[in-house]
């Protein structure tokens, strides 16, 4: 039975090459041969080899091993994890030892013992697989460590609006269907995505998220698909893309509506083929993900083919979940406020008896343009600055400067974009134009806020 393994043999002697190929094909399922080292760069670009069997000498009457050492260096420069076994005649053993100092893992003397050759290459394949797994796990751990501070929390709420959302979640989560979450900024789209993951069959696997609004277009493809060393200026090492890091689990694409058209076709190809190709590489990598996407862009805009590819939209929204803004979840505001109060009293080690009636009235009549994130930051700020036994309306002075929630008719007559623009202007004014503070209060990334500032010409 052959072993899963991809072997490259580079040997200029056709008889030796043929003999070696016949032997190894009995033990490995993929054996590639070349009688000239000049083909190595092309072969490595087109294939990912587990082990390379490299001759030491390619020039007639030259037994110094210089050619072998030169090509060994070229191979390791192209792929620092390449596993190379040298083939050498007895007279070149010293050169083979030098090759091992440079990075070869072993050497085989001519004429070789068949069992020795096969066992050496099997060990080389195991080494390559172990190195690849180790590097992938390290890079995956680095990506996942970014999510440690954003652990899964249960969704808080008893309003009819949030119950409708949770009903869809309970039905869709156990399937592997792609889900599109729609809602204003700060409504808890990532929280819902994590809830979907927690209730899915992939719950024991990874949850990887990426905020497309926080990544520049030039770095987007590398972030999603990864890159090979040297793919572009600054690419000093191979990098695992987030698609591959999420393989086996759930991949959450936030602010999908901000994805440039140029990147939408590549995302569609990845989803259709279930594979990605890192920048600077020609070999695709298989992926196994459950995709959950989210956007604060109105669905009508996504259905505009000049803004968003419709074939991609069909692929993303097998199931749609519409998250209501906080102003439509008034009954949930006391529950959310008290939940944040308990959270920050523990965090800041401050004793508080609760939220006064006048403060709660203010919280339930405020329009909350930043939605749940703005409520959370308001409670956090109040907990830091309050002085007394309970939070009072005076501890939410920043909200008093804003608008109370408009009437239902006012909400209908005032577009969401107008409300968003007014909210951004108010918060920027409150923080004297400090974009970082404003973005935090609004529950946006700095990149997203800058985009809106440009959009509204603020």
Residue 22 CB burial class (10 angstroms; 0-12, 13-18, ≥19): exposed
Q: Is the pLDDT of residue 398 over 70?
A: yes
Q: Is the pLDDT of residue 106 over 60?
A: yes
Residues 220/260, Cβ–Cβ less than 8 Å: yes
Structure confidence by residue, pLDDT tens digits, 348-366: 888 889 999 999 999 999 9
How high does pLDDT run on average in the chain?
A: 85
Per cent of the chain over pLDDT 70 is 91
Per-residue confidence band for 144, with pLDDT thresholds at 50, 70 and 90? low
**Residue 370 DSSP SS3:** coil
Q: Give the right CATH number for 3-133 from 1.10.10.60, 3.40.50.150, 3.40.50.2300, 3.30.43.10.
A: 3.40.50.2300
How far apart are the C-alpha atoms of 15 and 233, rounded to whole Å? Answer: 43
Per-domain residue ranges for the chain? Answer: 3-133, 160-322, 326-455
Q: Report the length, in residues, of the chain.
A: 458
Question: 234 or 263, which is more confident?
Answer: 263
* Residue-level pLDDT at 403: 52
How far apart are the C-alpha atoms of 393 and 138, rounded to whole Å? Answer: 49
Q: Give the right CATH number for 160-322 from 3.40.50.300, 3.30.2350.10, 3.20.20.140, 3.40.50.2020.
A: 3.40.50.300
Residues 193/209, Cβ–Cβ less than 8 Å: yes
Structure confidence by residue, pLDDT tens digits, 304-345: 888 899 999 999 999 999 999 999 999 999 999 999 999 999
CATH of domain 326-455: 1.10.8.60
Q: Do domains 3-133 and 160-322 have the same CATH topology?
A: yes
Look at strands 285-286 and 275-276 and give their pairing: antiparallel
- Nearest-CA neighbor of 50 among 30, 67, 22, 70? 30
Across the range 277-299, mean pLDDT stands at: 89
Structure confidence by residue, pLDDT tens digits, 56-67: 888 777 778 888
Per cent of the chain over pLDDT 90 is 45
Question: 167 or 228, which is more confident?
Answer: 167
Q: Is the pLDDT of residue 149 over 50?
A: no
Structure confidence by residue, pLDDT tens digits, 425-457: 888 887 777 887 888 778 777 777 877 887 777
Per-residue confidence band for 110, with pLDDT thresholds at 50, 70 and 90? confident
- Nearest-CA neighbor of 99 among 51, 48, 47, 64? 64
How far apart are the C-alpha atoms of 176 and 202, rounded to whole Å? Answer: 9
* Residue-level pLDDT at 84: 95
């Amino acid at each position: 039975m052959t072993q899963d393994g991809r072997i490259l043999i580079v040997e200029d002697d056709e008889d030796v090459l043929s003999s070696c190929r016949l032997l190894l094909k009995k033990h490995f399922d993929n054996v590639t041969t070349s009688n000239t080292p000049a083909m190595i760069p092309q072969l490595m670009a087109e294939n990912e080899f587990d082990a390379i069997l490299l001759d030491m000498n390619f020039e007639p009457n030259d037994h110094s091993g210089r050619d072998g050492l030169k090509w060994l260096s070229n191979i390791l420069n192209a792929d620092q994890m390449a596993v190379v076994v040298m083939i050498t005649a007895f007279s070149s053993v010293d050169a083979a030892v030098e090759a091992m100092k440079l990075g070869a893992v072993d050497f085989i003397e001519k004429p070789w013992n068949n069992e020795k050759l096969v066992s050496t290459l099997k060990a080389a394949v195991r080494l390559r697989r172990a190195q690849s797994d180790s590097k992938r796990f390290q890079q995956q751990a680095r990506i996942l460590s970014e999510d440690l501070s954003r652990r899964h929390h249960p969704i808080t709420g008893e309003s009819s609006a949030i119950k409708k959302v949770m009903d869809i979640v309970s039905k869709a989560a156990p399937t592997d269907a792609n889900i599109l979450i729609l809602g204003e900024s700060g409504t808890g789209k990532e929280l819902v995505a994590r809830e979907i993951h927690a209730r899915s069959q992939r719950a024991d696997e990874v949850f990887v998220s990426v905020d497309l609004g926080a990544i520049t277009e030039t770095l987007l493809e590398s972030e999603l698909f990864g890159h090979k060393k040297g793919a572009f200026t600054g690419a000093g090492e191979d990098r695992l893309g987030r698609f591959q890091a999420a393989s086996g689990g759930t991949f959450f694409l936030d602010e999908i509506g901000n994805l440039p058209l140029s990147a939408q076709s590549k995302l569609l190809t990845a989803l259709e083929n279930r594979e990605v190709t890192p920048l600077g590489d020609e070999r695709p990598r298989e992926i196994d993900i459950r995709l959950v996407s989210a956007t604060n862009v109105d669905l009508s805009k996504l259905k505009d083919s000049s803004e968003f590819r419709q074939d991609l939209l069909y692929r993303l929204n097998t199931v749609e979940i519409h998250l209501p803004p906080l102003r439509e979840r008034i009954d949930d505001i006391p529950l959310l406020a008290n939940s944040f109060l308990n959270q920050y009293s523990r965090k800041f080690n401050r004793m508080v008896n609760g939220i006064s009636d006048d403060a709660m009235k203010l919280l339930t009549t405020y329009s909350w343009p930043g939605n749940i994130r703005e409520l959370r930051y308001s409670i956090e700020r109040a907990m830091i600055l309050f002085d007394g036994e309970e939070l009072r309306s005076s501890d939410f002075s920043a909200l008093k400067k804003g608008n109370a929630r408009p009437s239902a008719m006012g909400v209908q007559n005032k577009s969401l974009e107008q409300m968003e623009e007014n909210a951004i202007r108010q918060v920027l004014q409150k923080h004297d134009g400090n974009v970082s503070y404003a973005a935090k209060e609004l529950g946006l990334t700095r990149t997203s806020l800058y985009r809106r500032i440009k959009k509204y010409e603020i």
